[in-house]
Structure 1
Amino acid sequence: MVAHIEPLSIGRERDAARLTSDVERRGHLVGRNIDHRYGSRALVGYIRKWRRQRAERRRGRNDCRPNHEPGQHDYFSPPSDAARRNGVATGDRLCYTSSRQPIGTQIVAEIRQRRANPIRLGVFVAVLAATLLPQIASAQDVRRTDSVVVTATRTEQRAFDLPVAIDSVDASRIQQDQLQINLSESLARVPGLVIQNRWNYAQDLQISSRGFGARASFGARGIRLFQDGIPATMPDGQGQTGSFSLASAQRIEVLRGPFSTLYGNAAGGVIAIFTEDGPQTPVAQMQAIGGSYGTWNAIAKLGGKARGINFVVAANHFQTGGYRDHSEASRDQFNAKLRFMLDSDTRVTLIGNTLYQPEAQDPLGLTRAQVQANRRQVDPAATLFDTRKTVGQQQGGMTIERKLGADTTLRLTGYAGQRAVRQYLALSGIADTSSGGVTDLDGNFAGVDARVTARLALAGGPLSLTFGAAYDRQDQARKGFVNNNGALGALRRDEDDTVHDQDVYAQAEWSPLPSLSLLAGARYSDVRFVSDDHYITATNPNDSGRLAFSHASPVAGIVWHAAKDVNVYANWGNGFETPTFIELAYRNIGTGLNFGLQPAISRSTEVGVKAYMFETQRVNLAVFSINTSNEIIIDAATGGRTTYKNAGKTHRRGVEAQWEGALGGGFSAYAAYTYLSATFAADTTTGTPPQLVAAGSRLPAVPANAAYAELAWTRADWSGFSAAVEVQYADKLYVNDRNTDAAPRYAVANARAGFEQRTGMWTLREFVRVNNLADRDYVGSVIVGDTNGRFFEPAAGRNFLVGASVNVRF
């Protein structure tokens, strides 16, 4: 599934030019012409001929329909072997009714009722779409110009031609009419991805991809994060989105499904942000945005090209008083990118960014009674212990790309950084074995990734091969102190934690036929944890230890180019997810790391269809099934401290659908829908003392249904006027594994409008945005498994943003 989120007419024109240059430069897989003469047209012709012959042989037999209409003909067929396996008896008939209509075929099947299986349903829908959509698309002569992405294959490919679910959100959606602080502003429209804004900057966003990562009490878990090819996820799988510079982002790619495992540990999905290149003519931008609750963001950006160096530099200062009491926060960010050619065959890219977020207050969650009494209040424990968090991070990296020949490229990426965190929890931690009520982390991280990509030919078809190796390391000093009602107290924990991974991977893409493409790969990961305990007393023994996990993750996919504007695909793969040091940090009983945790192993299957119709409409559909063993779940959560355990097996079954189209008259629309059934497949327990989690219980913080829709209107002749209405829906969110309570489902509407004026070297833009138009009271996210019952994090009521920017070219 693919959503290139921009007006179709603009995207097609720009991408067509870009792809043309790509074809001239590489002349291989990207932009290749696909011959479908031996694909769907031949199949449809054969089916029509077969139907005519069957009709002649069976002429005179009774209709399978009670009311036979003139101009329609019935064709009968005995059930196939596959149909019999699905429950169709030998004596049953399949009745195909074709009417004299220009488009489409009605299909009626007389079969026994069976319980729906999403994969079988997906295969049926894919085959049906492959048969019908080419009849619609064949009458068009429109060049397919989908977005170009790199996350799926590590080389530039049109997303439309890949057997994966991947979305690309461009800069206009990330920056225009937005605060430009949270990923939830622009990625809420991506199906399969759930990003809940906690309205709590001490805990970051709550992000899950197809249900992976929903358990995270803070930060991103189960999803790999990258900025310009540099990991924002540590080797143990824990990541933070706060360092992402949205003000200088060119696009964000979101990869879901099995192929995300090629990025290693914790790959339930991949979110990759790419910094824009500087324009050929230097441009300076100043932007100011302000709104409700004392929220404002000041942005400065400079980009251009000078003395052969392409550059972009962006900085911003964000501040908010917070929707709830005790939720003030501020953030300073800086991001820079330099790119230049060492020689005609070697390109160098330098990246550097910083984040400083001091004393972000943590209002904690609320109980149901507290939400009903005053949804903006803070729990007394938060003020008693002055819960807050400070984060500082600096990171730099370099990528060298070297052509080793006409069809071979070497890419080498290295990075290093430092991250410090101090968090005051809602407990004192005075006991000698408690690990403290203040967590202090100070760590360094670094890594390198090297890969070679070669473009060849095999059996007359183009072949692309990629081989690579990666090494990542994090060294962290972890300390814990007593929380003396908001003041730093005595030492209660002191250890040095190290985690590193050593991975090798390979990918191959081959087109043996003009209408068929194959994509396969594998990654072997070796992840090792070492903890050296320095806090040893009479009552607190030496808790040093080490763990090692390794796993091989194969994936494979196939695409049938059924027509010029219709692709049908399927993929399969497995992967693994190790516990993070945060998840290893505490035990329910005893001291030291929770070395009993084991990696979760997942096996995933997906089928889907991608299609253009009527020149301006795009439809994407994916159906998936994921089986996981040793699922890592929350055991208990108290005052900001969370313990984890392994459950048995879980099942995820889901459907993702998208539609985007230009409606004429300056109107365009977009809609996305996700259905996800994420359940425990076997009984397990949680908490102390253990409590039963029955098979069939839903995974917490994962909505069964989610949807996003948008209607936009632009009038360039009205001083660059644009406006849009957005609607977002989420089903109820269970708060724990036992499903004893849930945040109610909600639907909210937002509206935005803006103007743009261009005169000479100046470009001015103004906008206003209103969120939660109906002022609905709803819970935006939940804290999974909180033992105090403080599950609920209320979202803001009606709130607004206004902003203005000025760009000058010189």
Structure 2
Amino acid sequence: MQDVLSIEVQKGPGSINAVNATGGVIQLVTKSVFHEGKNRIKIGLGNDGQRNVNLKVRGAIDENNFISATISHRALENDWRDNNDFDATQVSLKYGHIFDDASTLETEFSYTESNLNLPTSMTDAEFEVFKATGEQHNTSSPWQHSARDSKIFAFNARYEKEFGDLTFKPRFYFNTWEHFHPVTASVLDSDDNKVFGTDLEANYFHKLFDNDATLVFGVTAKHDVTKGAKKYAYADFNQVAGGSKAISTTLSNNKGDLVNIEDSTSTLYGIYAQETLRPTKRLSLDFSLRLDKIKFSIDGNEILQYNFSGFSGPNTYNTGDGVYSLDTSYNLASPKIGLVYALSETTNVYVSIAQANQAPTGSEIKANIDLNKAGVQKTTSRNYEVGVKHRSSKLSYDIALYQNDVSDEITAVKQNFSTFYENAGKTRKRGLEINGVYQLNTNIQLGASYAYSDFKFVEFMEEGTKNRAGNSLSFIPENQYSMFVTYNLANGFKSRITTKSWGSYFMDNANTQKYGGYDLVTNLMLGYEQNEHSIQLNIKNIMDEHYAAQADKDIKGVNSYKAAATRSYMITYAYKF
């Protein structure tokens, strides 16, 4: 995040920037090599073994050529729970060139190496211990050595050139990566993965109704290739007592016998266009459409399969189903119509109607193959939204009221520490969102947000026999809110306190049990900045609340909890030069 200039959030379906998504898109706009500011070194230390180092240098080779380099390292030991340490190192190099015709070329090379151990979930009894002590150790989960380790090399290039009223902005990207991912029942080791992609965008500035208008249009393509992805049995484990062949606990993440080998590809082609026009000075209209086709091809051989029940065969891993193949494709459409009317110079009202399809991801398709579950269909999401936006010198606020009707929503179903996916027939999501910021005086700023969510299944036969119509979606609280206060002084002192709350939510689609959520989890920031130096203290979960970041109940009625982070603090010093 050190290199991010801004974060742009586009909610709901219908964005021309959203590929295979119905819930919206988050765009990270990175800093240009032409306008990156001063060099910087940043060092941070905290509890739980937190360490953070970041160095960034940039410079102009000459008036047309610019370069910057960044190296960063983060580490976190997290001794308060087992198997949850993390470290990541990233190196990136950017180069930019300004041509004689004022067109620009920017390129970036980066390498990232990340090692993340994944802690287990907790039972009811273990969660009670965590709430009392803030520690999570020696849990009963069989899968004690889950991890996600990866090495990623990435390259991207973007070019921009103006041809009168037309600006052409092609982008190209490539990355290759490998990862080692011990998960439920198997150890995934995949070292030959490549992604190729391009987005050829153009902006045409013109006049309609005697006012400025803009047409954004383009084509996109992306090709993902994985060759020889392998899954292995766990080599070291104890078995459940009483004659069962199931694993009671893993002893390491060492690889045993080969379980599965697989090749897969996914290919996406798309076109998009958006016209923004102003029939009057106060009225703005947006019309957009995105069309995509995505194809999946999966070929594999299941040599062995895990004995989940412990009694379905003579061994922990028994003979698998053998060779399998899947070829499927989805056509996706995302139209949107939006209207914005200016009530005044500071206040706008808007209305939008949007629709989008979402295909299952490759990982969702593979999860169902692994568990011998039926395939899932694409989702269709239609969103209706009205709202108000206000921006003035002292006050800004957003109010949005929406209804989102979804057909064939892809829904996760948990069973035996695994997750597979089904289509819910229909869901209806209604909500209200309010955000506001008030500048009380030169030094103090107040802010708050609130979200009301009424998300229900209209039609859903879970596992084919269990009718969930009328039930609420799991893990969606009816009420969420947050508040913040900032206090800054002209002498360089700065501070911010933030608190957030999640209301209760159902733990399963059957709505048999609720988790109470959490109240007023508070973070604090104190800092001081003087000339080129700055120092900052961040304390998260300052009251050291012990709660679940996620609480689930699987279709067999077994509860599981994932602990939220306990209190942590970090002191960071930064120097610009």
Q: What TM-score do you get using the length of structure 1 for normalisation?
A: 0.64
| Structure 1 residue 569: Cα displacement | 0.7
For residues 752 and 621 of structure 1, the distance between their equivalents in structure 2, rounded to whole angstroms, comes to 28
For residues 223 and 154 of structure 2, the distance between their equivalents in structure 1, rounded to whole angstroms, comes to 14
Alignment-derived partner of residue 540 in structure 1: 321
**SS of match in other structure, 1:372:** helix
Code of the residue aligned with 1:454 in structure 2: it is: Y
Code of the residue aligned with 1:396 in structure 2: it is: F
| Structure 1 residue 385: Cα displacement | 4.9
Alignment-derived partner of residue 496 in structure 1: 263
| Structure 1 residue 282: Cα displacement | 6.5
Contact 2:301 2:322 survives alignment (8 Å): no
Moved more, 458-467 or 628-637: 458-467
1:544-559 alignment to 2 at 5 Å?
A: 544-559=325-340
Alignment-derived partner of residue 777 in structure 1: 546
Alignment-derived partner of residue 431 in structure 2: 654
Moved more, 472-481 or 338-347: 338-347
For residues 514 and 552 of structure 1, the distance between their equivalents in structure 2, rounded to whole angstroms, comes to 31
Question: Is 1:348 aligned with 2:105?
Answer: yes
Q: Are the structure 2 counterparts of residues 783 and 404 from structure 1 closer, same or farther at C-alpha, using a change threshold of 3 Å?
A: farther
Question: Is 1:531 aligned with 2:290?
Answer: no
**SS of match in other structure, 1:585:** helix
Code of the residue aligned with 1:263 in structure 2: it is: A
| Structure 1 residue 575: Cα displacement | 0.3
Contact 1:365 1:793 survives alignment (8 Å): yes
1:353-502 alignment to 2 at 5 Å?
A: 353-358=110-115, 360-374=116-130, 376-378=135-137, 380=139, 385-405=144-164, 407-427=165-185, 436-438=186-188, 440=190, 442-477=192-227, 478-485=229-236, 486-502=253-269
Contact 1:290 1:801 survives alignment (8 Å): yes
Contact 1:282 1:304 survives alignment (8 Å): no
Find 1:764's aligned residue among 533, 549, 555: 533
Question: Is 1:749 aligned with 2:495?
Answer: no
Q: Are the structure 2 counterparts of residues 589 and 778 from structure 1 closer, same or farther at C-alpha, using a change threshold of 3 Å?
A: closer
1:156-189 Cα offsets, whole Å, 9 max, x none, are xxxxxxxxxxxxxxxxxxxxxxxxxxxxxxxxxx
For residues 527 and 379 of structure 1, the distance between their equivalents in structure 2, rounded to whole angstroms, comes to 44
For residues 785 and 420 of structure 1, the distance between their equivalents in structure 2, rounded to whole angstroms, comes to 31
| Structure 1 residue 280: Cα displacement | 6.6
For residues 252 and 710 of structure 1, the distance between their equivalents in structure 2, rounded to whole angstroms, comes to 19
Who wins on radius of gyration, i.e. which is larger? 1
Alignment-derived partner of residue 389 in structure 2: 610
Alignment-derived partner of residue 295 in structure 1: 50
Alignment-derived partner of residue 31 in structure 2: 276
Runs of 4+ in 1 over 6 A off after TM superposition: 279-282
Contact 1:587 1:643 survives alignment (8 Å): yes
For residues 765 and 589 of structure 1, the distance between their equivalents in structure 2, rounded to whole angstroms, comes to 51
Find 2:60's aligned residue among 293, 305, 316: 305
Q: Are the structure 2 counterparts of residues 495 and 289 from structure 1 closer, same or farther at C-alpha, using a change threshold of 3 Å?
A: same
Contact 1:279 1:304 survives alignment (8 Å): no
Alignment-derived partner of residue 91 in structure 2: 334
Find 1:569's aligned residue among 321, 342, 350: 350
**SS of match in other structure, 1:448:** strand
1:366-410 Cα offsets, whole Å, 9 max, x none, are 1222110235324546676522221121111111111122x1111
**SS of match in other structure, 1:330:** strand
Contact 1:312 1:337 survives alignment (8 Å): yes
| Structure 1 residue 325: Cα displacement | 1.8
Alignment-derived partner of residue 740 in structure 1: 512
Q: Are the structure 2 counterparts of residues 786 and 372 from structure 1 closer, same or farther at C-alpha, using a change threshold of 3 Å?
A: farther
* Unpaired runs of at least 5, structure 2: 237-252, 305-318
Alignment-derived partner of residue 310 in structure 2: none
Contact 2:400 2:432 survives alignment (8 Å): yes
Moved more, 570-579 or 255-264: 255-264
**SS of match in other structure, 1:541:** strand
Contact 2:126 2:139 survives alignment (8 Å): no
1:115-130 alignment to 2 at 5 Å?
A: none
Alignment-derived partner of residue 621 in structure 1: 399
For residues 342 and 800 of structure 1, the distance between their equivalents in structure 2, rounded to whole angstroms, comes to 47
Q: Are the structure 2 counterparts of residues 530 and 752 from structure 1 closer, same or farther at C-alpha, using a change threshold of 3 Å?
A: same
Alignment-derived partner of residue 475 in structure 2: 701
Alignment-derived partner of residue 245 in structure 2: none
Alignment-derived partner of residue 516 in structure 1: 283
For residues 142 and 409 of structure 2, the distance between their equivalents in structure 1, rounded to whole angstroms, comes to 35
Alignment-derived partner of residue 669 in structure 1: 446
| Structure 1 residue 557: Cα displacement | 0.4
For residues 373 and 627 of structure 1, the distance between their equivalents in structure 2, rounded to whole angstroms, comes to 41
Contact 1:364 1:379 survives alignment (8 Å): no
| Structure 1 residue 783: Cα displacement | 5.5
Find 1:715's aligned residue among 478, 485, 489: 489
**SS of match in other structure, 2:496:** strand
**SS of match in other structure, 2:440:** strand
For residues 554 and 776 of structure 1, the distance between their equivalents in structure 2, rounded to whole angstroms, comes to 44
1:709-762 Cα offsets, whole Å, 9 max, x none, are 111111122xx111121111111243322233343221211211111111xxxx
Contact 1:438 1:482 survives alignment (8 Å): no
Q: What is the number of residues matched between the two proteins?
A: 540
Higher relative contact order, structure no. (Cα contacts within 8 Å, ≥ 6 residues apart): 1
For residues 144 and 362 of structure 2, the distance between their equivalents in structure 1, rounded to whole angstroms, comes to 25
For residues 673 and 281 of structure 1, the distance between their equivalents in structure 2, rounded to whole angstroms, comes to 35
Alignment-derived partner of residue 632 in structure 1: 410
Q: Are the structure 2 counterparts of residues 468 and 787 from structure 1 closer, same or farther at C-alpha, using a change threshold of 3 Å?
A: farther
- Structure 1 or 2: more strand by fraction: 2
Code of the residue aligned with 2:204 in structure 1: it is: A
For residues 655 and 506 of structure 1, the distance between their equivalents in structure 2, rounded to whole angstroms, comes to 29
RMSD value over aligned CA atoms?
2.4
Contact 2:118 2:146 survives alignment (8 Å): yes
For residues 666 and 384 of structure 1, the distance between their equivalents in structure 2, rounded to whole angstroms, comes to 51
Q: Are the structure 2 counterparts of residues 650 and 286 from structure 1 closer, same or farther at C-alpha, using a change threshold of 3 Å?
A: same
Find 2:562's aligned residue among 788, 793, 797: 793
| Structure 1 residue 677: Cα displacement | 1.4
For residues 660 and 369 of structure 1, the distance between their equivalents in structure 2, rounded to whole angstroms, comes to 42
**SS of match in other structure, 1:625:** strand
Contact 2:540 2:569 survives alignment (8 Å): yes
For residues 678 and 438 of structure 1, the distance between their equivalents in structure 2, rounded to whole angstroms, comes to 35
Alignment-derived partner of residue 311 in structure 2: none
Question: Is 1:581 aligned with 2:362?
Answer: yes
For residues 301 and 315 of structure 1, the distance between their equivalents in structure 2, rounded to whole angstroms, comes to 7
Contact 2:20 2:332 survives alignment (8 Å): no
* Unpaired runs of at least 5, structure 1: 1-245, 428-435
| Structure 1 residue 260: Cα displacement | 2.6
1:60-79 alignment to 2 at 5 Å?
A: none
Contact 1:326 1:378 survives alignment (8 Å): no
Code of the residue aligned with 2:158 in structure 1: it is: T
1:82-131 Cα offsets, whole Å, 9 max, x none, are xxxxxxxxxxxxxxxxxxxxxxxxxxxxxxxxxxxxxxxxxxxxxxxxxx
